[in-house]
Amino acid sequence: MLAGKRILLIIGGGIAAYKSLLLIRLLKSAGAAVTPVLTRAGAEFVTPLSVAALAGEKVHQALFDLTDEAEMGHIQLSRVADLLVVAPATADLMAKLATGRAEDLASNLLLATDTPVLMAPAMNVRMWQHPATQRNLATLTADGVRFVGPDQGEMACGEFGPGRMAEPEAIFAAITAALAEGPLQGRHVLVTSGPTHEPIDPVRYIANRSSGAQGTAIAAALRDLGARVTFVTGPATVPPPYGVTVVKVETARQMLEAVEAALPAAAAVMAAAVADWRVTNEGVQKMKKDGSGKAPALEFAENPDILATLSKGPQRPRLMVGFAAETEHVVDHATAKRARKGCDWIVANDVSPATDIMGGTENAVVLISDTGAEHWPRMAKDQVAKKLAQRIADALQNS
């Protein structure tokens, strides 16, 4: 899949730079050509010699290199690539691109091209969580930059949390996904998945049994057809797919905020099992038994309906797909839901316990659209996802 492709790999300054050497090997063995660019800070962590030896190409380091200017010019460097990959992407490199600064070779290359960009952030957990970095992340995501990672875990600086660069295999998968040539190439598709958690007090919450399996499979299938996928997920048990931009949320209100921040999109598939209600008298402290035997009275408010809000909103994606998990009268309820929420399609299924669908590996769905109800045979959730992704691609192509 990568044979004949050229990746321009910018190696930023961070201890994770050593993983980029492994990434170069993976890319080379898949038949891709790698144009390496080493920032000044990057060269503090890996040597130009190792990078050049693995890539089998000259390493570009300086903005004003007379030989380069004579040969092709630094601007041309990024234009001949199929994809720009920044790994490790430091907080500084993210900030430079988010604000459009062009100070050194790497930032000039990133600014001087309309070639797709994939970033693999790596930084200290506090730097990652800093509002400035998160703002830059949102800006870059809205500009169409793809992200892989960061992962959560122990970091070289001794701290723990999100900030570790994704493993080379994950970056490789994200590169493959970014270069996937399919009918959804160049389209942005939004997917919600998993349950939401609605807090009762600092330690308790209301949840549901959604595993996130179907939403995850749909995001992966859309990615495989070439889409740029933003995957907004509640606390699911199934890990998110590689090669998509993952936004993790807990509550329904956070999910709506994340979904709106990710617009515009050509299509949206709302597969999340969003809690209908949230607790309004959420305890600031853990609720205690007072010995009287009296149970605490929880008060509820209705959560925003993300599917309906988007379907009726000013930035409505062209194709809105909702889900309906029903336990009886599946087609009738789902048809009514389609009208009520203003979406184009409803993927309806029977989740009564006997079907073993909620949390299971198979699904039997009915696709409700303006042309009626189409019953699909029971199949693996991956197969449902592939079939649905293809239908989405067909619908977007025909409109």
Among 41, 98, 232, 307, binds ligand C5P (CB under 6 A): 307
CB-based closest residue to ligand C5P: 306
> What is the rounded distance in angstroms from the CA atom of residue 58 to the CA atom of residue 72?
14
Please report how close the Cβ of residue 137 comes to ligand C5P at its closest, in angstroms. Answer: 24
Write the binding mask 185 to 204 for ligand C5P: x where contact by CB under 6 A, - elsewhere. Answer: -------x------------
Name the residue type at position 185. Q
The pair of structure tokens assigned to 47 is: 């040597």
Whichever of 87 and 274 has its CB closer to ligand C5P, that residue is 274
The pair of structure tokens assigned to 260 is: 């709106």
3-state secondary structure at position 33? strand
Residue 371, classified by CB atoms within 10 Å of its CB into exposed (0-12), middle (13-18) or buried (19+), is: exposed
Binding to ligand C5P (CB under 6 A): which residues in 87-116?
Answer: none
Please report how close the Cβ of residue 138 comes to ligand C5P at its closest, in angstroms. Answer: 21
Please report how close the Cβ of residue 354 comes to ligand C5P at its closest, in angstroms. Answer: 19
Q: Is 233 in the site for ligand C5P (CB under 6 A)?
A: no
Q: Is 322 in the site for ligand C5P (CB under 6 A)?
A: yes
Whichever of 100 and 313 has its CB closer to ligand C5P, that residue is 313
Please report how close the Cβ of residue 322 comes to ligand C5P at its closest, in angstroms. Answer: 3
> What is the rounded distance in angstroms from the CA atom of residue 391 to the CA atom of residue 108?
40
**Pick from 386, 308, 393, 312: nearest CA to 346:** 308
Residue 182, classified by CB atoms within 10 Å of its CB into exposed (0-12), middle (13-18) or buried (19+), is: middle
Among 109, 191, 270, 358, binds ligand C5P (CB under 6 A): 270
Among 59, 109, 219, 252, binds ligand C5P (CB under 6 A): 252
Whichever of 178 and 275 has its CB closer to ligand C5P, that residue is 275
Q: Is 274 in the site for ligand C5P (CB under 6 A)?
A: yes
Whichever of 119 and 324 has its CB closer to ligand C5P, that residue is 324
3-state secondary structure at position 166? coil
Q: Is 268 in the site for ligand C5P (CB under 6 A)?
A: no
> What is the rounded distance in angstroms from the CA atom of residue 312 to the CA atom of residue 378?
32
Q: Is 246 in the site for ligand C5P (CB under 6 A)?
A: no
Whichever of 52 and 206 has its CB closer to ligand C5P, that residue is 206
What DSSP letter does each residue of 268-321 carry, written as one string? EEE--B--SEEESS--SS-----SS-PPP---EEEPP-HHHHHHTSTT--SEEE
Task: Specify the stretch interacting with ligand C5P by CB under 6 A; choose among 55-63, 271-279, 348-356, 386-394.
Answer: 271-279
Q: Are 151 and 122 in contact (CB under 8 A)?
A: no
Q: Is 272 in the site for ligand C5P (CB under 6 A)?
A: yes
Q: Quick one: CA dihedral 329, 331, 337, 339, positive or negative?
A: negative
Among 173, 236, 324, 396, binds ligand C5P (CB under 6 A): 324
The pair of structure tokens assigned to 84 is: 């720009």
Among 45, 147, 172, 323, binds ligand C5P (CB under 6 A): 323
Q: Quick one: CA dihedral 130, 132, 138, 144, positive or negative?
A: negative
C-alpha 303, offset from chain centre: 24
User: What is the residue whose two structure tokens read 């009296």?
Assistant: 294
Q: Is 149 in the site for ligand C5P (CB under 6 A)?
A: no
Binding to ligand C5P (CB under 6 A): which residues in 7-46?
Answer: none
Catalytic residue numbers read 157
Binding interface with ligand C5P (CB under 6 A): 192, 252, 270, 272, 274, 276, 303, 305-307, 322-324, 337
